[in-house]
Chain A
């Protein structure tokens, strides 16, 4: 499992073993380099029948369906679905706001667990995995590969990722949409503290490029509840101006602004057909991943 036997804080062997039985599927056809367990937009040599096609000169005669010729006195070629591997691109938000955590862990620690586990699961089922860290821009980037050594690099990058700087997620997502050549599964792990309208264009862009987009929207319970007892000075983790506020006074307006944002986000992901998961980081990440994997398994088969 760990090629160098190095212990990773964000990986739990028991969780990995439990999740190993649940495959990671793409919801859309992928274009891989090798055979895999994911649907491909092309015809191939799998056992799953796809369709009959009229014979045209040049087709392999071995693929003629003689039984159909016997019934209809015409030449048909029998085609089967192709199975391929997928290219899983993890996009990890490493902006300053990901360093927030009111309880045991921060959002980036939680994101590491999710990203590490997904990387491992994808790698184990033969898919290529890549990782991009996003802050002011694309801070670090590992293109998808499917060998075990690459997985170690990904783990190293996850381990070294530190929350810092502002978020330029929208710009980076547009960049990723353009730079990934083939269809891929793009998994975004972020708190998405940007305007939903900006995200909507990103998701549309990715969808236009036939990528399957999944989003883990990470939020801290305190950010949702906003419960404080004393006046607070809120220091922006991304370097912006500080705000002094009486939480009791602005709690209702904060909640109002938050709910408005969440409603807009919900609308954006529905319109963009994004596999969206809002995650409160006090949830068990295993449960989150199970929900994610099972949800995708149910959506499998679309070509």
Chain B
């Protein structure tokens, strides 16, 4: 049990007062010479059993009455899960609020979402508990924001729903930085979240670091987790996986690929209406959902031939979570796919030019260009999507230019020079060539994602058929995407904030590998890199909420209806925005459609060693997390007093005849 006025519990020793008074009273006895001892002895014999229990009961009820009074004055709280956490007023209370779309899930039979319920519960709880300072760190911008009062949680736009994902380690890091920078006293951190695995990234190494960091605070930090782990089995979400504008001689069309995800899956067929809206024109498609995911490839929506650029919305009927029931998209005439090839030998140049010049779609314009390394200073980087670099790693101005290119979302694939040097870029350095006459094969590769992932039909790329005769070693921090027999990396990715940097440990030259002869892998590899690079160049971009690489949100103007939030919050809310002459469709990240919930044991493990309490609530819950129960103790006191009085009542005296005769 927890108490708001814990210091009042210092009065609990008063419970012993009846006992002390009893003992003092015992010592104040009088002595009397008594004749009628036979009656006293008889009375003493009769005092066993109930009579003796009665004395103890009277004592007990008196002590209970005092205990009830003291506890009632200490303002007890009804919630046991708080433990003694709420014992004294915290100096600072930091609220980590998960605003991600999954928190918009409604509870059964209620209109309140998890986020709304969580905010109400937090406001109610904080108003009872009190604190010196209130700080909100929301899942969208991770910036600590001081609140005047807990009630502000109900009205603040930055506490409202957002379309961006939550990143709990980052939020905790922000909380840690706030505590450290402001030298706050005893701190309580309240986390309101739905425990989505994608938001918590429990496998991240940051958790261990954060745990150790919080343990170092001498003032002590308490963690309270207000969890809403319930899922909605019937919830359906929709996502546009691809949108393209195609034009023929007769007409223009927008090809939209969709993925509809049904939580929980199931074999039964569920009919569903999908509504498309482009420039105010609406159309409906009736579909049947089966299984977990239902994909629709290139649904054609005719548009005006003159409409080169536009935006639209796909929606399904409202269900448990309205935030994943629609998806915005923007389309434009696809930009030309410009690839810069820098190579030091013609054996590699030819295949690279071929794979980057053959368009997967006739409507696309491919522009492969070969540059020498020393000519790059004259290159216009703005419309470049991909750089294929075979040669020594650049340094100096060229290296800086490449870093900028990657930061704005460009893709770079490095291949080793014939004579590796000591140059280093993106933390990677080529070492020596290896291999001999006998070709080596690829032993493992990442087929689930990235450039070597399976095709849309589910078929794996024939990476295993490649023959690698020579390969170059590399050192530095990287993530191997394909590994040769023996453990040497063939394809490695360097972690970057934006864009992609890949290192291919061999070249397409015929003496090095069969990449050119078995061109499927190289073609898919290059085209996928090219597609990722061109995604940031078009006049119409699909953005994940919260991620604004290469964009200036301050210049955004909202053009879709149903606007939410302040203009500063645009990057975190789904919708279509215009920035200069470009259209930006902002939607929830794909990870938000993953409904996996972090296991309870895993959550406990994350906070191991920390002062941590957790309570599960559910959306629309009307019961408060905590409530004061001093009335119950006052009632207990009154009952104890009444019972004590009843036990103390003297028995009705019988008329006693004295002085009679027989």
> A residues engaging B (CB < 8 A)?
96-100, 107, 191, 193-194, 219-221, 223-224, 228, 230-238, 240, 243-246, 249-262, 266, 269-270, 274-280, 283, 291, 295
Cα distance A235–B662 in the bound complex, in angstroms: 32
Contact A231 B29 (CB under 8 A): yes
Known contacts A234-B37, A250-B40, A250-B44: A277-B661 contact under CB 8 Å: yes
Residue of A nearest to B648 (CB): A248
Known contacts A257-B46, A279-B659: A235-B34 contact under CB 8 Å: yes
Contact B659 A280 (CB under 8 A): yes
Known contacts A231-B25, A252-B651, A278-B658: A237-B33 contact under CB 8 Å: yes
Cα distance A246–B39 in the bound complex, in angstroms: 14
Contact B38 A193 (CB under 8 A): yes
CB < 8 Å neighbour of A236 from B37, B650, B657: B37
Asked whether any CB of chain A lies closer than 8 Å to the CB of B552, the reply is: no
Residue of B nearest to A223 (CB): B36
Cα distance A244–B43 in the bound complex, in angstroms: 12
Q: Indicate with 1 or 0, residue by residue over B613-631, a CB within 8 angstroms of chain A CB atoms.
A: 0000000000000000000
Known contacts A253-B46, A253-B47, A274-B662: A96-B35 contact under CB 8 Å: yes
Cα distance A191–B42 in the bound complex, in angstroms: 17
Give the Cβ gap from B225 to chain A, nearest Cβ, in Å. 55
Known contacts A237-B34, A291-B661: A230-B29 contact under CB 8 Å: yes
Contact B37 A238 (CB under 8 A): yes
Give the Cβ gap from B651 to chain A, nearest Cβ, in Å. 5
Contact A98 B25 (CB under 8 A): no
Cα distance A152–B34 in the bound complex, in angstroms: 32
The 6 tightest CB contacts between A and B, nearest first, are A97-B35, A257-B42, A276-B662, A100-B35, A253-B43, A234-B34
CB < 8 Å neighbour of A235 from B33, B656, B657, B661: B33
Known contacts A256-B43, A257-B43: A223-B31 contact under CB 8 Å: no
Give the Cβ gap from A232 to chain B, nearest Cβ, in Å. 5
- Interfacial chain B residues near A253, Cβ < 8 Å: 42-43, 46-47, 51
Residue of B nearest to A107 (CB): B35
Contact A234 B32 (CB under 8 A): yes
Contact A223 B35 (CB under 8 A): yes
Residue pairs across A and B with CB atoms within 8 Å: the count is: 132
Interface contacts beyond A236-B34, A249-B47: sample of 10 additional A-B pairs, CB < 8 Å, sorted by A: A220-B35, A223-B35, A231-B25, A234-B34, A238-B35, A244-B26, A245-B44, A250-B47, A255-B653, A276-B661
Asked whether any CB of chain A lies closer than 8 Å to the CB of B654, the reply is: yes
- Interfacial chain A residues near B650, Cβ < 8 Å: 251-252
Cα distance A262–B33 in the bound complex, in angstroms: 22
In the complex, which residues 1-50 of chain B have their Cβ closer than 8 Å to any Cβ of chain A? 25-26, 28-44, 46-47
Cα distance A99–B35 in the bound complex, in angstroms: 8
Cα distance A251–B656 in the bound complex, in angstroms: 14
Give the Cβ gap from B140 to chain A, nearest Cβ, in Å. 71
Cα distance A220–B39 in the bound complex, in angstroms: 14
A-B residue pairs in contact (CB < 8 Å), sample of 24: A97-B37, A100-B36, A193-B37, A219-B658, A220-B35, A230-B25, A232-B31, A235-B31, A238-B37, A240-B37, A243-B41, A245-B44, A250-B51, A253-B42, A254-B39, A257-B38, A259-B656, A261-B38, A274-B662, A275-B661, A278-B660, A278-B661, A278-B662, A279-B659
Known contacts A234-B40, A250-B43, A254-B39: A224-B661 contact under CB 8 Å: no
CB < 8 Å neighbour of B654 from A220, A259, A276: A259
CB < 8 Å neighbour of B32 from A232, A255, A270: A232
Asked whether any CB of chain A lies closer than 8 Å to the CB of B517, the reply is: no
Contact A261 B658 (CB under 8 A): no
> B residues engaging A (CB < 8 A)?
25-26, 28-44, 46-47, 51, 55, 650-651, 653-654, 656-662
- Interfacial chain A residues near B26, Cβ < 8 Å: 231, 244, 246
Cα distance A100–B51 in the bound complex, in angstroms: 29
- Interfacial chain B residues near A274, Cβ < 8 Å: 662
Give the Cβ gap from A243 to chain B, nearest Cβ, in Å. 5
Give the Cβ gap from A278 to chain B, nearest Cβ, in Å. 5
CB < 8 Å neighbour of A243 from B35, B40, B653: B40
Residue of B nearest to A295 (CB): B661
Cα distance A193–B42 in the bound complex, in angstroms: 12
Cα distance A100–B32 in the bound complex, in angstroms: 10
Contact B43 A254 (CB under 8 A): yes
Q: Which of B33, B36, B55, B659 is most buried by chain A, counting CB atoms within 10 A of its CB? A: B36
Cα distance A235–B32 in the bound complex, in angstroms: 6
- Interfacial chain B residues near A275, Cβ < 8 Å: 661-662
Contact A232 B36 (CB under 8 A): no
Give the Cβ gap from A85 to chain B, nearest Cβ, in Å. 26
Residue of B nearest to A273 (CB): B662
Residue of A nearest to B35 (CB): A97
CB < 8 Å neighbour of B662 from A223, A243, A266: A266
- Interfacial chain A residues near B654, Cβ < 8 Å: 255, 259
Contact A230 B28 (CB under 8 A): yes
Residue of B nearest to A96 (CB): B35
Q: Which of A219, A231, A283 is most buried by chain B, counting CB atoms within 10 A of its CB? A: A231
Cα distance A87–B585 in the bound complex, in angstroms: 134
- Interfacial chain B residues near A220, Cβ < 8 Å: 35
Residue of A nearest to B22 (CB): A246
Known contacts A100-B35, A223-B36: A233-B47 contact under CB 8 Å: no
Cα distance A290–B497 in the bound complex, in angstroms: 122
Give the Cβ gap from B218 to chain A, nearest Cβ, in Å. 55
Give the Cβ gap from A277 to chain B, nearest Cβ, in Å. 5
- Interfacial chain A residues near B35, Cβ < 8 Å: 96-100, 107, 191, 193, 220, 223, 237-238
Cα distance A255–B36 in the bound complex, in angstroms: 12
Give the Cβ gap from B609 to chain A, nearest Cβ, in Å. 56
Give the Cβ gap from A196 to chain B, nearest Cβ, in Å. 11
Residue of A nearest to B38 (CB): A193
Give the Cβ gap from A71 to chain B, nearest Cβ, in Å. 48
Cα distance A150–B456 in the bound complex, in angstroms: 141
- Interfacial chain A residues near B661, Cβ < 8 Å: 275-278, 291, 295
Cα distance A228–B658 in the bound complex, in angstroms: 19
Residue of B nearest to A258 (CB): B39
- Interfacial chain B residues near A245, Cβ < 8 Å: 40, 43-44
Known contacts A231-B30, A252-B651: A270-B43 contact under CB 8 Å: no
Cα distance A236–B660 in the bound complex, in angstroms: 27
- Interfacial chain B residues near A261, Cβ < 8 Å: 38-39
Cα distance A193–B29 in the bound complex, in angstroms: 25
Known contacts A193-B35, A193-B36: A233-B43 contact under CB 8 Å: no
- Interfacial chain A residues near B651, Cβ < 8 Å: 252
- Interfacial chain A residues near B44, Cβ < 8 Å: 243, 245, 250
Cα distance A96–B39 in the bound complex, in angstroms: 16
- Interfacial chain B residues near A221, Cβ < 8 Å: 658
- Interfacial chain A residues near B30, Cβ < 8 Å: 228, 230-233
Contact A270 B39 (CB under 8 A): no
Contact A224 B656 (CB under 8 A): yes
- Interfacial chain B residues near A224, Cβ < 8 Å: 656, 658
Contact A233 B29 (CB under 8 A): yes
Known contacts A243-B37, A250-B40, A259-B656: A233-B32 contact under CB 8 Å: yes
